[in-house]
Amino acid sequence: MADAASLFKQAESAWRAGNGAAAKAAAEQVLADDPVHVGALMILANLCFATGDVAGARPHLERLAILMPDEVMIRNNLGRACLAAEDLGAAAEAFTTVLETAPANARALDGLGIVRHREGDYAEAA
């Protein structure tokens, strides 16, 4: 059986070649061997976004947020995945976490505005 490093190379090559099924299979094998492999988690999250399954990216992004707590892109994408899953509380938490360190982050401000609008808090949404 191939090691995690060579499996990740396969996953990355398949992802770059546009072969989502092979990328997913290889990334899942990487995670079976190394459950905290950031690259494999990123590929799986990106595959979900690429296929329109934004909510499906959530478990991968949650794991990434634990591994990379200060990564704004991860938190913003987690917020989007939570919005897609209609989990407004978790979405607000993800966007608020970004805004604590980057108060002018446009994606987080937009995401939090969407949350507040869906909650019916139109004044806060604006």
Residues 10-36 pLDDT 10s: 999 999 999 999 999 999 999 999 999
Give Rg (Cα) of the chain.
16
* Widest pairwise Cα distance in the chain: 57
Q: What is the pTM of this model?
A: 0.90
Residues 79-105 pLDDT 10s: 999 999 999 999 999 999 999 999 999
What's the mean pLDDT when you consider all of the chain?
95
Instruction: Name the architecture of domain 71-126.
Output: Alpha Horseshoe (1.25)
For 39, counting Cβ atoms within 10 Å of its Cβ (0-12 exposed, 13-18 middle, 19+ buried), the class is middle
Query: Distances in Å between the alpha carbon of 75 and those of 21, 84, 107, 111?
Result: 26, 14, 10, 11
What are the sequence ranges of the domains in the chain? 1-53, 71-126
pLDDT-derived band at 124 (thresholds 50, 70, 90) equals confident
Question: Would you say residue 9 has pLDDT above 60?
Answer: yes
* pLDDT, mean of residues 118-124: 86
